[in-house]
Structure 1
Amino acid sequence: MSHARILFIPTHATLPARFLLVDREGRVVARGELDPHQAEAPPSIRTIAVAPGADVMTRWLDLPPCNMAQARAAARWALRDQAAGEVDGLDVALSAAPADGGLRLTAAVSSKLLQAWLRWMETFDIRPDAVVPDNLCLPAPLEAETWTAAQMGADVALRGPTFAVTVQPDLVEAMAAGRALDWLEGEALEAALAAGAMAAPVDLLQVHDRRERGQAAKGWRLAAGLAAALLISPLIMMAAEGLRDRAAADGAGAEARIGAVKLYPELATTKDAAAEALRRLDAGPPPGGTARAMSAVFAAVERVPGAELDDATLGGEGLRVTMNHAAFNDLDAVRADLAEAGLAVVDETSAEEGGRMISTLTIGGDR
């Protein structure tokens, strides 16, 4: 019996997705494809999804010893000059901290694209146990002057001791810069990918369950049509009202609600789901970007004696932080410091635990 399925996410939602079935000893025992037009859902089995590495930024960073939330914030700051867009639009996953204090593997992916991949898998009734980039599934070479290489669809994945990237074939020579390439093919490649996926050092789902669900990625064309229908529907309703066509207006309203609930399932019991979904889609990140906001938050918390930052996550409404502090009025000092930095602060919850206060704040969301 198969122990796990290694599912390769295609570069476009309408393409078939190949998969490998692996037994308990890690051997590839079967191969197949998921067709987006197939009617039956595949059998339920442990699934590791392998994402196109070209859409994931992997770096080995020198991060300070700290808790996971602080390490993730430090990684965002380190990536600020390397990310193609604002770092606040990324989900950042970290490997375990090296025992020797060396470089720490960091993988960053667009949060919207990750959501699109997950929704695509939901159409097959698949909820992956992990999502990993294809280049990190390749075995890391022992020598810095030799890289592992493999053809991954139309692209090529490259892996060094502290390097991983997936690029177009015409960029391979420039990326290798004279290094020898150890090419994997056929069954050897399948076996390496299966073993690497099962033991990948990072999981892109690391922070997914702690974030609010966002709009699906436009570039991946999975839920773009749904999002467009949701945004257009109020205009349809206005036109229908002007023409006294109540039936059309009601139909547009129902379509908008269906679209809203598909984007945000938690709105299923909300009376005006479409309006709430539009509000979430319009919500913006902290002004100046998350890196700037996190820097201000760290500074404000450090000025409060005994206060610690327990967690920091990004959601549709901005930066959310959890603070562990001694007294309720500590929030006044933090709020004042962040106000001077031009950041809005909303107190979400505050509760006493073990003689300490645990407070959750939303920082800088557009409202």
Structure 2
Amino acid sequence: MKPTRLILIPALAGEPAPYLIIGAGGYVLERGTLALDAVERPEAMRTVAVAPGADVLIRWLDLPPGSVAQQRAAALWALKDDLAAPADRLSVSLGPVPVAGEPRLVAVVGLSLLEAWSDYLETLGVRADVLLPDVLTLTEPLDESLTAVAFGPSVALRGRRFAASVQPDLVDLVAAGRVVEPVDDPASVERALVQAAAGPLLDLTSARVREQAAARRGWGRAAVLAGVALVSPLILMIAGAGRDELAAARAQDQAQAEIARVDPELARTPDPVAALRGRVRAAPPPGGVMAATAALFSAVEAVPDAELDMLVVDPEDGMKAAVTHPDYGDVKVIDEAMRASGLSVTETGTQDDAGRVVSDITIGAAR
């Protein structure tokens, strides 16, 4: 068994992060802290990051049967009165599939906060394979009491189908008469962390969110220039050759000038490059939406036991779908079938759901 690194993300971004290295059998091999200004990068290994739970909404909900995407949507609808942000700014994570008739664990967190935690970990030189709120590292008690553990400035409270991180002066109010059992022994807290690292109840960052965050950080500028390439490949060559800010700025000016020449309407927008990116991203697939839909239905039907869960055509985001299928290689089969119609499928997210695979895909022109 390869070792696992567990990192505690602090409440303040400028603080170092405590960590454990956990070996086979759950034994702690190393303890320490990761500093933001460390010269040496940590060793690559499976990493479980524990995030402050105060900004994570956790509930157990009775969800209707359906795919992962459908249950996420149902969870957002059920929690609409408890959420301050619009749905497109939130990430919904689901816990293990419960037995029939039991509620399912649901966690909701803002995408901006996920990105901030990811950026912090990247500064440390690590990437989280699993991101878990601190309160879900605690074991659910068997009775109606609440287990309380201090994580930084907050207190994590764990009960039966209950989990919340609150300020210390709100513990009694949230407990609402239930007995609160504080856990002050560091060894007990460490054992709970080790157990959570071995079998996390959920992952706050779905594959789709991780890929989007990586794209924003590593390919943000490349994505802008790739859109410009449809107008002028020469501009892309000039910009790609530039390694400093001066070259990038010059390429941006040239791109805007070329956009103004080709499409004056785009040039009148506040950010012509961003407007062009939006136009390219939302452009309908070759042959139109109806032809693409028919091709997708045929491609999915050709894969045994595959189902099309959701199909969305959005003016801003283009044509997207969610497909449930048995094997990870099925998306490649669907893509090959779509290419016969001049289309392609790009997998933007994948998640396991009770032995099935749920893939988020985008439909576009074949290259």
Give the aligned residue type for 2:46. R
Deviations 1:153-210 (A, max 9, x none): 1110001110101111011110011111222221111111221233121111224357
Following the alignment from structure 2 to structure 1, what is the Cα–Cα distance between the partners of residues 155 and 278?
37
Following the alignment from structure 1 to structure 2, what is the Cα–Cα distance between the partners of residues 41 and 149?
34
Query: 1:59 Cα shift?
Result: 0.8
Deviations 1:39-58 (A, max 9, x none): 11112222100011012111
Change beyond 3 A, Cα 1:21–1:361: closer
3-state SS of 2:84 partner: coil
3-state SS of 1:25 partner: helix
3-state SS of 1:115 partner: helix
Q: Give the TM-score normalised by structure 1.
A: 0.62
2:19 corresponds in structure 1 to: 19
Following the alignment from structure 1 to structure 2, what is the Cα–Cα distance between the partners of residues 128 and 214?
12
1:61 corresponds in structure 2 to: 61
1:76 corresponds in structure 2 to: 76
Change beyond 3 A, Cα 1:255–1:107: farther
Contact 1:280 1:317 in 2 (8 A): no
Change beyond 3 A, Cα 1:317–1:18: farther
2:140 corresponds in structure 1 to: 140
1:111 corresponds in structure 2 to: 111
Give the aligned residue type for 1:120. Y
Give the aligned residue type for 1:173. D
Query: 1:125 Cα shift?
Result: 2.7
Following the alignment from structure 1 to structure 2, what is the Cα–Cα distance between the partners of residues 361 and 46?
29
1:153 corresponds in structure 2 to: 152
3-state SS of 1:123 partner: helix
Change beyond 3 A, Cα 1:127–1:211: closer
Query: 1:119 Cα shift?
Result: 2.2
2:203 corresponds in structure 1 to: 203
CA RMSD of aligned residues (A): 4.1
Deviations 1:51-99 (A, max 9, x none): 1101211111110011111111111111211112212211111012212
3-state SS of 1:72 partner: helix
2:9 corresponds in structure 1 to: 9
Contact 1:90 1:110 in 2 (8 A): yes
Give the aligned residue type for 2:248. A
Following the alignment from structure 1 to structure 2, what is the Cα–Cα distance between the partners of residues 312 and 12?
40
Give the aligned residue type for 1:147. L
3-state SS of 1:106 partner: strand
Give the aligned residue type for 1:184. V
Give the aligned residue type for 1:13. A
1:330 corresponds in structure 2 to: none
Q: Greater helix share, 1 or 2? A: 2
Query: Among the aligned pairs, what percent are the same residue?
Result: 38
2:284 corresponds in structure 1 to: none
Change beyond 3 A, Cα 1:72–1:204: same
Give the aligned residue type for 1:118. S
1:265 corresponds in structure 2 to: none
Query: 1:101 Cα shift?
Result: 2.8
Q: Which runs of 5+ in 2 are unaligned?
A: 225-243, 253-270, 280-300, 302-306, 324-334, 346-360
Query: 1:34 Cα shift?
Result: 0.8
1:182 corresponds in structure 2 to: 181
Q: Kindly indicate whether residue 321 of structure 2 is the aligned counterpart of residue 322 of structure 1.
A: yes
Query: 1:279 Cα shift?
Result: 5.1
Query: 1:211 Cα shift?
Result: 5.9
2:45 corresponds in structure 1 to: 45
Contact 1:109 1:204 in 2 (8 A): yes
Q: Give the TM-score normalised by structure 2.
A: 0.62
Query: 1:112 Cα shift?
Result: 1.8
